[in-house]
């Protein structure tokens, strides 16, 4: 029998989603786990839904008052009895054999800091399933964590927190989910443990992450999101300076941490344009983040140029250009 694992579900006012999440989590093929639910002072039928489950592995804690998203994450981490913890949002799901596949690594390499699995994404707004992207360089196995971090920073794998097995005591010793991050505390935790040494990689789909436009992070301004990602790049560079002995690999990590920021500058600007960001706000954001734009444009050059033109060029001018091009296009 391997070590006890905690599947931790922080929840707030999502009773119906929680019911499905708990039921599917209890269906794991690996049996030695506890299912911990931290109810963040819900006002819906969360308590009633949880009372319907009789499985002895389920343990529920209820917060007396809402302690915020990050506070509830850390409550889950601090209350976890398992050596390892999986933090699972109430609208996400893990495959039935996820824990079993993770334990195979832990039994081979004692005290692994982290096991990373791939995540497919489910768009709640239109029902689309975006398949998990896997590394073309690394197969399922045990690898140097710095190499796996580089794959993530280069955008070669899709990984979300729900398909990551974290060593609980090690993450606690690092401060848990850091309070100075509002958008990227999950990636900060993952990056920190990846730079601890050898790690497990499941280069295959292990679960599903739900994304939608009414999440808590969607309320943040683009500047808040980008500043958080800038802090993430700085944190990764700082840890790499202390832990990565190979100077070439260390510089690669620092360079790609900056590139990761640029990639997200491009992505968030594109998404903001699609959402109808005002010309004045877009101009202001472009000015504040202009140092990242050359690298961002190299990543998404055509898409950025088109969307920026639509937002920044007056509509009459665009219509005039289209009229001028009509005789050319007709031939």
DSSP string, 71-126: HHHHHHHHH--SSEEEE--TT-EE-TTHHHHHHHHHHHSTT-SEEEEEEEEEETTT
- Give 274's pLDDT tier (boundaries 50, 70, 90): confident
Q: If phi over 0 gives left and psi between -120 and 50 gives alpha, with beta otherwise, what is residue 176?
A: left
Q: How far apart are CA 45 and CA 242, in angstroms?
A: 47
Q: How far apart are CA 144 and CA 249, in angstroms?
A: 11
In the predicted structure, residue 170 carries a pLDDT above the cut 70? yes
- Give 185's pLDDT tier (boundaries 50, 70, 90): very high
- For 151-163, the pLDDT digits (tens) are 999 999 999 999 9
Which two three-digit tokens encode residue 173? 């010793």
Which two three-digit tokens encode residue 293? 């734009």
Phi, psi of 45 (to 5 degrees): -95, 25
- Give 272's pLDDT tier (boundaries 50, 70, 90): confident
Location of structure tokens 């140029």:
305
In the predicted structure, residue 90 carries a pLDDT above the cut 50? yes
Q: How far apart are CA 30 and CA 27, in angstroms?
A: 9
- For 189-206, the pLDDT digits (tens) are 999 999 999 999 999 999
Nearest Cα neighbor of 231 from 197, 174, 188 is 188
- For 297-331, the pLDDT digits (tens) are 555 554 444 544 544 444 454 354 345 445 544 44
Mean pLDDT throughout 264-274? 77
Q: How far apart are CA 227 and CA 182, in angstroms?
A: 10
Which two three-digit tokens encode residue 34? 């506890």
Complete DSSP assignment for 25-40: HTT-S---EEEEEEE-
Mean pLDDT throughout 88-110? 95
Mean pLDDT throughout 163-180? 97
- Quote the pLDDT of residue 180: 92
CB 114 within 8 A of CB 145: yes
Q: How far apart are CA 85 and CA 93, in angstroms?
A: 15
Mean pLDDT throughout 240-248? 97
Q: How many CB atoms are closer than 10 A to CB 274?
A: 11
Q: With pLDDT > 90 as the criterion, what percentage of the chain qualifies?
A: 68
Q: What is the mean pLDDT of the chain?
A: 87
- Quote the pLDDT of residue 71: 97
Report the half-sphere exposure of 170 (CA within 13 A, side-chain side): 19
- Give 3's pLDDT tier (boundaries 50, 70, 90): confident
CB 289 within 8 A of CB 326: no
Question: How do the domains of the chain map onto residue ranges?
Answer: 5-219, 222-316
- Give 295's pLDDT tier (boundaries 50, 70, 90): low
47-50 — which CB contacts under 8 Å span 24+ positions?
A: 48/15, 49/15, 49/16, 49/18, 49/19, 49/22, 50/18, 50/22
- Quote the pLDDT of residue 321: 39
Mean pLDDT throughout 227-253? 96
Q: How far apart are CA 168 and CA 321, in angstroms?
A: 59
- Does domain 5-219 match CATH 3.90.550.10? yes
Q: Which residues contact 281 (CB under 8 A, 6 or more apart)?
A: none
């Amino acid at each position: 029998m391997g070590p006890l694992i905690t599947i931790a579900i922080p929840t707030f006012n999502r009773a119906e989603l929680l019911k499905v999440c708990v039921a599917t989590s209890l269906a794991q093929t690996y049996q030695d786990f506890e299912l911990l639910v931290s109810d963040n002072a819900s006002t819906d039928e969360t308590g009633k839904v949880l009372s319907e489950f009789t499985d002895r592995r389920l343990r529920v804690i209820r917060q007396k008052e809402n302690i915020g998203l990050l506070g509830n994450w850390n409550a889950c981490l601090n209350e976890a009895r398992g050596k390892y913890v999986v933090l699972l949002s109430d609208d996400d799901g893990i495959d039935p054999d996820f824990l079993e596949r993770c334990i195979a690594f832990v039994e081979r390499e004692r005290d692994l800091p982290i096991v990373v699995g791939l995540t497919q994404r489910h768009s709640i707004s239109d029902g689309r399933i975006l398949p998990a992207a896997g590394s073309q360089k690394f197969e399922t196995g045990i690898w140097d964590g710095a190499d796996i971090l580089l794959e993530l920073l280069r955008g070669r794998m899709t990984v979300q927190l729900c398909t990551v097995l974290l060593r609980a005591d090690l993450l606690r010793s690092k401060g848990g989910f850091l309070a100075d991050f509002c958008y990227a505390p999950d990636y900060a935790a993952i990056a920190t443990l990846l730079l601890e040494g050898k790690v497990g990689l499941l280069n295959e789909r292990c679960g599903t992450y739900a994304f939608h436009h009414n999440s808590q992070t969607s309320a943040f301004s683009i500047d808040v999101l980008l500043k958080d990602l800038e802090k993430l790049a700085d944190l990764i560079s700082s840890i790499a300076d202390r832990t990565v002995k190979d100077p070439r690999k260390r510089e690669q990590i620092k360079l790609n941490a900056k590139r990761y920021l640029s990639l997200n500058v491009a992505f968030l600007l594109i998404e903001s344009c699609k959402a109808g960001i005002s010309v004045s706000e877009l101009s202001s954001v472009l000015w504040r983040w202009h140092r990242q734009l050359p690298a961002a444009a190299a990543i998404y050059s055509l898409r950025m140029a088109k969307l920026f033109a639509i937002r920044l060029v007056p509509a009459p001018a665009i219509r005039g250009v289209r009229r001028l091009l009509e005789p050319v296009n007709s031939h």
